[in-house]
Amino acid sequence: MQVFFSPASPYVRKVMVMAHETGQTVEKLSSAASPVERDQTIVAHNPTGKVPTALLPDGSALYDSRAICRWLDAQHAGPKLYPEGDWAVLRREALADGLLDAALLARYETVMRPADKLWPAWLQGQMDKIASSLVAMEQEVSQLTGVDAGTLAIGCALAYLDFRFPDHPWRTDHPRLARWFDDLSERPSFVQTQPTA
């Protein structure tokens, strides 16, 4: 499988972590993905122009990260990271992706939007989504045992907060979640997929 790649994308990282956990190789295709100026090479395969966009061996395209991760999980013979009928795994993945959606929008608001166009109330709304998602994760951290698509997605979401919001106090506010994440971060799949930009 080939994937249009951006080294800082938490959604691309989720796919790369899943590939590593399932023992699969993914070829990285360079891209210039942007929420403002879309990379037409990606658009040719995915109308939204977003990463990750995967090109499967049969030449077809697959997107977004959840669909690509499900495809990867279907390709290997080991224990499934999307266990059949385990709705909690899917819910946790959706929770993690919801946190990431809010975090990306908050970053775009503060880094890409012209200063005279900033909307503080809208930015606060995104930060509130991050806060309530962290509360939910902390409340069920004792249930985050083993490795599955939900725990991997939560790990990628928390890693993105550390990467792009280093002053966010999530670790202080949610110490049990921080300890859990520190343990997860030692897995080779996380060590080898650290963002670079």
Preceding omega of 47 cis (within 30 degrees of 0): no
Q: Are residues 38 and 97 in the same domain?
A: no
Residue numbers of the domain that contains 158: 87-187
- CATH number for position 105: 1.20.1050.10
Q: Taking the model in full, what pTM does it have?
A: 0.95
- CATH number for position 27: 3.40.30.10
Q: Are residues 18 and 65 in the same domain?
A: yes
Q: Are residues 132 and 108 in the same domain?
A: yes
> Would you say 195 and 13 are in contact if contact means Cβ atoms under 8 Å apart?
yes
Residue 54 half-sphere exposure, CB side, CA atoms within 13 Å? 24
Q: Is residue 194 part of a domain?
A: no
Domain boundary among 29, 53, 75: 75
Written as tens digits, the pLDDT of the chain (197 aa) is 999 989 899 999 999 999 999 999 999 998 888 878 889 999 999 999 999 999 999 999 999 999 999 999 999 999 999 999 999 999 999 999 999 999 999 999 998 888 899 999 999 999 999 999 999 999 999 999 999 999 999 999 999 999 999 999 999 999 999 999 999 999 999 999 998 76
Domain boundary among 25, 46, 75: 75
